[in-house]
Structure 1
């Protein structure tokens, strides 16, 4: 592991691509967090005494040193929210400069080519930041000024629009100066020597930032090769997320507790589901585990989210919900 204090834009600049692995949660910063970061940027951008503003760490590792291109692909395991948000600010700033005649030390083209694009590359490698699934499509559409599909990432578009609406001729210089003075702890991992999973757990040991569901998904997918990650996610985990729908975040932790209760005959604490899962999974084949979880999650969705097709069973499950007899779910699973 190599950790140094670094200017964030210096970390991003140059031929490289930061990739958000498929096991990471999607971009989730709210407007309140964007406002706070933007306020910090304005403060540092107008201050004559401060030398910079620390915004946290960016932790990543290179998946393979045998790339066929000159653009290393760096997988981020911590810091994707900050990096994505700063890229949205840079994009909004470049759009403002493109439409307004403002004298700065930079211009719209330089901002895009230095910090948003690998201008000599084609395809996905053209983008310095590659998000996952819906976030990726939405972000790429913004970069290319393409219309968004109906089911786009609202967090990406809403936060970007906030920065577009907030940058103006009075604060644009401060915004640029502030972005130029953002600092991070730049942490580079060596995949063969450092264990990304252990480092990830230590950074999220309080359980406040990530749900038990996030931690379990990362545990299952992080240690696998990228092709295996994609296979497991597309074949098992994504269909499960789709089945839970908007209730995925609120129900998955409870489902996993009931799943583990059914499998181990021991009821784990709701805040200790991840550790209980690791004990359960120790020594088992990952694909067998995730296939089993996906199968049982469909039973759980039928019972709790009332997706059962059989009318008699559906009526019974609705009665259980009305009576709040959730202690029966492990038995029913």
Structure 2
């Protein structure tokens, strides 16, 4: 098992595919949480004294044979609500920015799509290239809407009350009304950091993983969730009962 603190933008740029199993909950976020996320981004975008802002853990299960693919194919166990929200913020930023931002391609819709949403450099001749194109694959309930949102096609009709649609529209409105430039917001997002915890179910000792997670101050529910995905090597019911260290 590996745990590392990393910059979110760098994490998003890396070639990989994160898969959210259908057993995970659908995307959902309250109006208050949307506003809180935006307030944080606006503060990071304008306060030069802030150099880093930590938003939490992303827990990832590495499929033991992922190296047979062109890129790592991973299972996202925890942190998907945060990750999807950041993706939707970037989708809104790309839509507001458009295809040309004062000649700076780095903040354009095309750049964001190619670098943060897709594995754009795949070998198209490989048979798995289509399946690996998107960096994030959500549960079947959310994935079609997610893809339409990140593709940014204005001609596509979307369910206005879906949480992801509401989130993108909220961020679009907030960006337009903020007076901040795409470069400002991009710089704010660039200050975000995460902790990436990865484990390989083919090689890790689940009991050791559990003890390590407890030392890492994760909640008991988070530890159980991770161990549940360790390929049945240890039943979740066998996890010893003890109070987790408070975060």
Shorter-chain TM-score bucket reads 0.7 to 0.9
TM-score, scaled to structure 2? 0.75
| Count of residues in Structure 1 that have an aligned counterpart in Structure 2 | 217
Cα separation, 2, equivalents of 1:21 and 1:158: 23
Cα displacement (A) at 1:11 = 1.1
Counterpart for residue 50 of structure 1: 50
- Residue 127 in 1 paired to residue 134 in 2? yes
Counterpart for residue 78 of structure 1: 78
Could you say if the C-alpha distance between residues 112 and 171 of structure 1 is closer, same or farther in structure 2, counting changes exceeding 3 Å?
same
* Residue in structure 1 matching 2:144, options 123, 137, 140: 137
TM-score, scaled to structure 1? 0.57
Larger strand proportion, structure 1 or 2? 2
- Work out whether residues 55 and 194 of structure 2, in 8 Å CA contact, stay in contact via their aligned partners in 1: yes
- The unaligned stretches of length 5 or more in structure 2 are 123-128, 239-247
Cα separation, 2, equivalents of 1:219 and 1:101: 42
Cα separation, 2, equivalents of 1:149 and 1:77: 27
Q: Indicate the structure whose relative CO is greater, using CA pairs within 8 Å and at least 6 residues apart.
A: 2
Cα separation, 2, equivalents of 1:103 and 1:36: 31
Cα displacement (A) at 1:69 = 2.5
C-alpha RMSD of the superposition: 3.1
Cα displacement (A) at 1:29 = 1.8
Partner deviation per Cα, 1:206-228 (whole Å, 9 max, x = no partner): x6x9xxxxx8xx69973558xxx
Equivalence map 1:215-254=2 (5 Å): 222-224=229-231
- Residue 193 in 1 paired to residue 204 in 2? yes
Equivalence map 1:269-308=2 (5 Å): 278=237
Higher alpha-carbon Rg: 1
Counterpart for residue 109 of structure 1: 110
Partner deviation per Cα, 1:27-78 (whole Å, 9 max, x = no partner): 1222221211111111111111111111111111211334443211111111
Larger helix proportion, structure 1 or 2? 1
Cα separation, 1, equivalents of 2:56 and 2:227: 26
- The unaligned stretches of length 5 or more in structure 1 are 210-214, 226-274, 280-333
- Work out whether residues 141 and 148 of structure 1, in 8 Å CA contact, stay in contact via their aligned partners in 2: no
Tell me the SS of whatever aligns to 1:147.
coil
